[in-house]
Structure formats: C-alpha cells, structure tokens
Structure 1
C-alpha cells in the first residue's frame, strides 16, 4: 500500500511576502514623512512648553511605534529598499535627538530596551527577514529580494560608530548627574537612601548592536566598547558644543 506524503502543517508554511503596491507605497511614504517631521520638530523645540517631547522618555515613547512601522515594511521587491532607506534615516535622526537631551537617569532603562529592539531590527533587515511586531524580532527564512548594498552597509557602520560614541558621552554625563543626585541626597539627610533607582553603568551597554555587528562581520574586529569611548576631553568638548548636531546623514539613493 502506497503511503501518502506527510502533510505540511500550516504553522510550518512560510507565507509568501509580497511588495507593497505603488498606491500603498505612496501612502506609506506620506505617513512616514509626517511622523519623521513630528519627531524632529518636537525634539528640536524640547525646551519649549508646546513640545510633546520635552523629555527623553517622552521622545522614545513616540519614536518606538515609528520603528515598528518601518520594520514591518515587507522585505520584497522595491519595498525592501524602502525599509532600508527609512531605517537608516531613523537611526541617524534618533541618535542625533537622543544625545541632544539633558541627562535623564530614569530614562536609561527605556533607552537600553529601545537600543536592543533597534539592534534586532537591523539584524532582521540585513538577513532579509520579515519583522514580527509581537516577538520584536525577525522571523522566517531569508527572502528572495535584493539585500542591503555595500554602500548602505558602510553608511550603517559609520552611523553606529559615530552614534555609539555620542551615546557614550551622553551616558557618562547622565551617570555623573545621577551620582551627584545621590551625593546631594546623602549630604542633605546624612543617609544613603535606597531610592530603587538602578545605578547607571556604561558596561551594561558594551554589547549594544552586537546582532547588527555580527551580520556586518565586524564583531571580530575589536569594535570599541562603550566603556572605552569616553575621554575627559570628549566630555569637555561636548559641553562646549552644547546641542550642535552630532551626526550627519547623507541622503540615501532610493533607486
């Protein structure tokens, strides 16, 4: 008796990913541009009472849904290039905005979580996988689509290096601000109080973008650790420069 071949379960069948239609892509671009403008506008006027993003945690709360939207662009056809283009822009804009905020120790935990999602997001794009917003990770096999170009990989590496350096300076300033707060509280009360706030440690950020760097083939090249990036003269220069732009983004050719 001839046995029938095993039936593949629905759960194991990888869904076919289709690119966006021209109409869908046009509407998506319009929505993304509006959200990018909102992020940039409100972060730049963060000292103004009219801004909806006066603190870093408020900024990250608004920036996270935009990241999820970009990552869910299907990795197929021209849509895959669109996802890479907007994720490069998002990475630059957010690093520039974050390091412009005043030190805010209670936002560091949320910042670390956001960085971890961004890292998994970039690894997903580099692997040409689709993004699962529930798992917050890439799923499925690599798609039959054009991957991230060498030019885009170079720009990404540059953004990560300069962005990580700027972030290290911001974290060190925030760590010092937190330490001063603890010292002032102890001086006022004569006691060291347990506020429940975790002390900021730069080494907790040493492995940020580890997934992305693995895909870029850079983990074995002794990429600098967060704890080794901050020098006293860098902190002084940062304080003198104030809120100047710390990163420059060259427009990516979408073709």
Structure 2
C-alpha cells in the first residue's frame, strides 16, 4: 500500500506530462482494500483519495501480476523493496501504524507484563498451582465453574477463609483438620472413597492423582485430571452454600 501511495504521489507530480498510466502490483490484498472502504486505515484512505483525484486528470488503470512468476520488473521491484527495508540507513517514508497493529502490540505487552507478575507474585500461589500462566488452554482445562474456582483460589466456603475475613472465629473442619481448600480437595475424610476411585481411574491412564497443591503442577496439562477435578468439586455440597 505504501508503494502504491508513492507511485500515485509521483504521478500526481507529473500529471502535466503523463496522461495515461497502468499500475501493476502483485498484491491482491492491496487491490481488494481499495475496493473495500467501509473501515479504511489512514494509509488506505490516503491512497484511495490520491487514486480518485488522480483519475480525474489522467487515464489510470490497476492490474495484478502473479508474484514470482518470471515477471522481470516485478521481481526487480521485490528486490528493491527488500533492500530498502533492511537498509538501516534508509529513512522511513511512512511512520504511522494501523490501529489494529497498535492494539495488538499493546495487548502483547500487557500479556507479557501479566505473565511476569503471575510468575513472581507472592500472592495467588494456590491458583498458580493449577495454572502456570494466565493464558491457559481451554481445550485442556475446559471452562471453570463456581465450585472449581473456590478450590483453585482458596476463596470460598472454607472455615479458614471465613475466619480470615472476620466472618467466624473457628477454622476447624468437622474432621478436626484445618478447613482449607487444600484440605477439602486432598484430605477430607468424607471424600476418601471417591479419591480412591479417582486414583484408580487416573492410574489406568498413566496418571497419579496429586496429594497436594504442589503436585498439581505435574498433572495440570492433562485433561483427565481436569475432568476428575471438575467432577469432584461439583460433588462437594459445602461449596454450594452461599
């Protein structure tokens, strides 16, 4: 598009002597963009306006030639463009970037900063046991429901959490252990038999059910573990209490 804009700018400066011109490009994308002006970029609009105004003064045509098809002049244009693009001494002739490109760059910067904070933070380590970074693969994990999130964060209907936020004074479980999310998921005697069944199912698939949050890191890339985790969390009645 920049090359086309430069060609049109040259023609406009010589429209007193050039009355007919055919512009040849190997970019179907550029020609399509000039026909679709519903949401043009700044560069696209500039090029289109140049073409429209110039067409009032000279006979202007656009043609497409296939790339790398033996067209000597097109091959030469490709070589010149690559040479200019890699020459650090060549000053840029166009410094604006498409909005979509800027948004993509900003999003990438934000994601990288988020990943770094996720990796180095001292809080949220329970959740980090399940997810190594914030950009997890839903094909493996599936969608998280309300019950899973309580166990993944430690924020839920657990006596240790309710005590921490001042709702109750006692953090013990009915089995005399400390009522934490980790205790419910891995140690609560009420679900001992279900954990044994889950162990057998995972063992048949070459996996071992983790015994604590640290060991979750060994299976968090396995869909079978997430299926077991989802099934377990949906059977814990205390997680359903508001």
Q: TM-score, normalised by structure 1?
A: 0.20
The structure that has the greater radius of gyration is 2
More helix by share: 1
Higher RCO (C-alpha 8 Å, min separation 6): 1
